[in-house]
Amino acid sequence: MSNTHKRLTSSSPIPPNIPTSFETDDGIATPIDNEIIISANDSEENNDNGLTTKGGVHAGEDPPMVANEVRVFLTNRIQGSDTSEDATPIPLWTFPIDTGDNNTYTFDSTVSALAIENVPPNTAKAAGFKVFGTVVTDGLSGTASIVGSTANVEQRDAFLGTLSLEYVIAGSAVSLMATGIGQNVFWKAVTYYTTIQDV
């Protein structure tokens, strides 16, 4: 019995095919020293899929993007936080809307609130809210209005019994307004919105 042997021309492994560019929904990222950066963020940008990607340098992004970066965005998201010191309403976020066309916007916010009692034993008191609202714009009059009233589902400590949240329109912007109590309350809101525009 005989064996046939085939000599390899090289003992080195076959190098992989390395991509020279990465195409995204918006732009192309180009590796630098065979390195590509993939990062994630959220965005107020409207996208029917709720998700988009960008590649390479994009003006206006914060933090700035670089040539070898692919950034994945969760879209249609608004974030805001603030601290109320008394019962004066404060905006957790303000979002511009287009009042020049016939549009509908729906806002679905999840809001956390935290206060530390200002008397001993200085315990933490919390509240959580789901806040839903709908805004319609009239392109003929250039105005916007809340449809019905803000709807809330809430859980709260009795200490925070007078906290409240509502959507308010001022000109061509809508704000999520928080009303606190007679001491510091820390607020954090994450909002998802959907819109039908210019029909």
> Could you read off the pLDDT of 59-85 as tens digits, one per residue?
888 889 999 999 999 999 999 999 999
pLDDT in tens, 124-151: 999 999 999 999 999 999 999 999 999 9
Q: Which of these, 80, 107, 112, lies nearest to 169 by C-alpha position? A: 107
Tokens of 44: 């107020």
CATH 2.60.40 domain locations along the chain:
77-196
Residue in the block written with tokens 């003929």 = 140
pLDDT at 5 over 50: no
Predicted confidence at residue 9, as pLDDT, reads 54
Contact 36, 66 (CB under 8 A): no
Contact 173, 70 (CB under 8 A): no
Give the mean pLDDT of 3-32: 75
Predicted confidence at residue 27, as pLDDT, reads 95
- pTM, rounded to two decimals: 0.86
Quick one: how many helices (H) and strands (E) in the chain?
0, 14
pLDDT at 26 over 50: yes
Burial class of residue 74 (count of CB atoms within 10 Å of its CB; 0-12, 13-18, 19+): middle
Predicted confidence at residue 19, as pLDDT, reads 84
Distance of CA 151 to the CA centre of its chain: 21
Query: Under CATH, which number does the domain 77-196 receive?
Result: 2.60.40
What is the pLDDT confidence band of residue 15, given thresholds at 50, 70 and 90? low
Q: Give the separation between CA 102 and CA 195, rounded to whole angstroms.
A: 11
